[in-house]
Amino acid sequence: MPTVAADPGPFTFDLDSTALIVIDMQRDFLLPGGFGESLGNDVAQLRRTIAPLAALLAAWRAAGLPVIHTREGHLPDLSDCPPAKLKRGSMIGQPGTFGKILIRGEYGHDIVDELQPLPGEPVVDKPGKGAFYATNLDELLRETKTLIVTGVTTEVCVHTTVREANDRGYECLVLSDCVGSYFPEFQSVGLRMIAAQGGIFGWVSESSALLKEITR
Cα gap 22→20, rounded to integer Å: 7
pLDDT digits (tens, 9 = 90+) for 154-174: 999 999 999 999 999 999 999
Domains along the chain with CATH numbers? 3-214 (3.40.50.850)
pLDDT at position 140, please? 97
Which residue type, as a one-letter code, is found at position 80? Answer: D
Q: What percent of the chain has pLDDT over 70?
A: 100
Within its chain, how far is the Cα of 117 from the centroid? 13
pLDDT at 156: 98
Whether the CB-CB separation of 70 and 79 falls below 8 Å is answered with: no
Q: Mean per-residue pLDDT for 188-208? A: 98
**Rounded average pLDDT over 130-153:** 97
Q: What is the DSSP string of 10-67?
A: -EE--GGGEEEEEE--BHHHHSTTSHHHHTT--THHHHTTHHHHHHHHHHHHHTT--E
Total-model pTM: 0.98
Contact 38, 96 (CB under 8 A): yes
Examine the pLDDT at 29 and tell me if it is beyond 80: yes
Q: Once rounded to an integer, what is the mean pLDDT over residues 146-161? A: 98
- Is residue 53's pLDDT more than 80? yes
Give me the active site residues, please: 24, 126, 157
Q: Is pLDDT at 129 greater than 90 in this prediction?
A: yes
How many beta carbons lie within 10 A of that of residue 87, not counting itself? 9
